[in-house]
Homo-oligomer: A and B are copies of this chain.
């Protein structure tokens, strides 16, 4: 697993600082659950302000949290002065997004100098029982030397 060795000693703090700047995470009420090299988990709870028309959490909100989890999993392995941007992602919705709370986990499948491939899963927890809600496959880009895009 040497490929998932962080390039900076303070990767955890850098993820926390960048996450803190994401206004949408505050809006969602999402918090960082775990930060490890190449793996980040984010937790949030359903509320009316995040719903789609049937009362479940909107697929886009699920995607938002998964995208941040995958993005920060990639970012945790990036060098100092780097920024991370999402190139693309695909999300599959396996079950309605509901539960007492949900936890999205992003994991790096292959880090790269330019492009990092990550995958994500999100589970809904109801009375302690986990249910797989969605999966994500994402490509993240390392941005170096672009003003305004440093995390």
Contact = CB atoms under 8 A, between A and B. Distances in A.
Given A52-B24, A63-B64, A87 B83 contact: no
Nearest to A60: B64
Interface string A128-151: 000010010101010000001101
A93 B87 CA distance: 5
A64 B141 CA distance: 21
> Number of contact residues on A: which range applies?
35 or more
Interface string A82-115: 0101111111111110000000000001100011
A53 to B, nearest CB: 4
A63 B67 contact: yes
Interface in A64-91: 64-68, 83, 85-91
